[in-house]
Amino acid sequence: MADLLTAARMRAIENAAIKAGSVTGAQLMESAGECVLAAILARWPGMAAAPHRALVLCGPGNNGGDGFVVARLLRGRGWTVALFLAGDADRLPPDARANHDRWDGAVTPYEDTAFAREAGPLGPQDLILDALFGTGLTRPVDGFEAFRAAAQRGGGRPKVVAVDVPSGLCSDSGRVLHREGAPAEPPVRADLTVSFHAEKQGHRLADGPDACGAIQVAPIGLPPRADIAAEDSPVTLNERPEAFDKGEGAHKYAHGHAIVLSGPPGTGGAARLAARGALRIGAGLVSVCCEDAAVPEHAARLDAVMIKRANGADGLARLLEDSRLNALCLGPGLGQGARDLVPVALKAGRATVLDADALTAFAGDPGALFGLLHENAVLTPHAGEFGRVFPDIAERLAATPDHGPAFSKIDAVREAAKHAGCTILLKGPDTVIAAPDGRCTVNSAHYDRAAPWLATAGTGDVLAGFVTGLLAQGMEAFDAARIAAWLHVEAARRFGPGLISEDLPEALPACLRDLAAAP
């Protein structure tokens, strides 16, 4: 799995390599500039075929230094380059200053009118390079109105390429740094962002993907995995998982018996969706468990999924005396009964997914839940449910990010997992999954894995079922959550436009087949 870095970790990696003598800062900067140029030419062959015009905006730090390198290289290819510097040349850090000195064109101090004048005639074959701020951004970017205007998406504009990070975006959180009351609009909407060594967390979170446009990571001569002590385990991008096997010849009970609890009559659809998901992902048996009154409704709709009866908390406790029932899912369509049923389920010590109503039931008294949770539990909230269970953490995440590094969705979920003592999966296009031991991964439905069709009712219920089905097969909680989340997006992408939640379990077999076939 590829790591997603914070700015601090990236700096530590660079410093360690420089200290070890394997590379110099100047070499890294040259290499960064070369990589940006190569990425541009590879993406737009017209720009490789003939020189065009470029407008390069350099900032006061090393991101600006990269800009000077790209400007020089473009000029060397015959391009007409106008370079603007925001900041004082005498205060550039040493490597950036050296590249400033190597630039033999004009350096125009940034000013809106002059920038707008240069940007006006640029066409789609031309380029604006954003080398204003990178991982060193610490406060909101003020001004730069002409640059902002030129770097918003619209017909016929030049290509906009961001060096490392679109300026104004916090590279740890993917949030736009801004003052209270000011708009949180990304200042730059790039067509391409070229980053170095490894992706930064912000490329995958919050506003990051929209601002980046597309992301390309270039190696710049740093060792593949830094030989430095990590404060905690690195955050990874949740990539294609290893295949998991059903194992030939095993009895169906060897793959577990998952139970999905359902609520009163008329609200059983969500539980059935979860149950179908659990069955398709490979649980040996799956039962919907409901009160007597809801049996006819489920019986009319279920075949491979079985039905078990349990009335209220006592009924559930009696049912769970059967030790073969090894994974539970509570929440989808569970309704008011959730508050009484969740403690019984958690006390039974089974692998347990809590979603939707099972989380909302503890709004106002989340402390009552924390005493019961265990390491085989997985909470799968969306943002609203997360706020009900972790109001303090959600409040920090909702606060205006007016300085960097801003509190991120990764920070929030890690803290929540540690506090709750179980795996947390916080949903969204940028789903973050964390375990109490510090493991954390981002399941990113962005770029070449965009899956906007998941934004439809009931897909979260199916996800809860996927996790439950993997738990039933004996998978550890964090692994079950990350593999389920990956397959969820994979199934959605495979089905594509027109997807409704019922399609997800049916799209799964092809995904599992591919997983088993791939090396």
Ligand X SMILES: NC(=O)C1=CN([C@@H]2O[C@H](COP(=O)(O)OP(=O)(O)OC[C@H]3O[C@@H](n4cnc5c(N)ncnc54)[C@H](O)[C@@H]3O)[C@@H](O)[C@H]2O)[C@@H](O)CC1
Ligand Y SMILES: Nc1ncnc2c1ncn2[C@@H]1O[C@H](COP(=O)(O)OP(=O)(O)O)[C@@H](O)[C@H]1O
CB of 320 to ligand X, least distance (A): 53
Dist CA 171 CA 134 (whole Å): 7
Q: Write the burial class of residue 492 (CB in 10 Å: 0-12 exposed, 13-18 middle, 19+ buried).
A: buried
Residue 4 structure tokens: 């997603």
Question: Strands, DSSP E only, in 47-98?
Answer: 53-58, 80-85
**How far is the C-alpha of 217 from the C-alpha of 225, rounded, in Å?**
15
**Quick check: helix, strand or coil at residue 163?**
strand
Figure out which of the listed residues 282, 429, 465, 505 binds ligand Y, where binding follows CB under 6 A. Answer: 429
Q: Are 428 and 222 in contact (CB under 8 A)?
A: no
Question: Judged by CB under 6 A, which of 135, 459, 468, 473 binds ligand Y?
Answer: 459
Least spacing, CB of residue 99 vs ligand Y, in Å? 40
Rounded to a whole number of angstroms, the minimum distance from the CB of residue 381 to ligand Y is 8
Q: Does 93 bind ligand X (CB under 6 A)?
A: yes
Asked if 14 touches ligand Y (CB under 6 A), the answer is no
Question: Which residues participate in the annotated binding site for (6S)-NADPHX?
Answer: 62-66, 134-140, 164, 270, 333, 382, 461
Closest separation between CB of residue 432 and K ion, Å?
Answer: 24
Strand partners, 307: 288
> DSSP letter at 169?
B
Binding partner of residue 288 among ligand X, K ion, ligand Y, none, CB under 5 to 8 Å per kind?
A: none
Is residue 130 close enough to count as binding ligand X by CB under 6 A?
no
Q: Would you say how long the chain is, in residues?
A: 519
Q: Judged by CB, which is closer to ligand X: 15, or 233? A: 15
Using CB under 5 A as the criterion, which residues of the chain lie in contact with K ion when the complex forms? 130, 134, 162-163, 167
By CB under 6 A, the count of residues binding ligand Y is 18
Q: Which of 73, 307, 434, 445 binds ligand Y (CB under 6 A)?
A: 445
CA distances from 58 to 99, 136, 223, 238, 325 (A): 11, 13, 27, 34, 62
Please report whether residue 454 would count as binding ligand Y according to CB under 6 A.
Answer: yes
Site string for ligand Y, 333-372 (x = CB under 6 A): -----------------------x----------------
H helix runs in 151-289, sequence order: 208-212, 269-280
Dihedral of the CA atoms 113, 116, 117, 122 (nearest 10)? 170
- Judged by CB under 6 A, which of 4, 5, 13, 28 binds ligand X? 28
DSSP, collapsed to helix, strand or coil, labels residue 148 as helix
With CB under 5 to 8 Å by kind, the binding choice for 495 among ligand X, ligand Y, K ion, none is: none
Residues that bind ligand Y (CB under 6 A): 356, 382, 427-429, 431, 445, 451-452, 454-455, 457-461, 463, 488
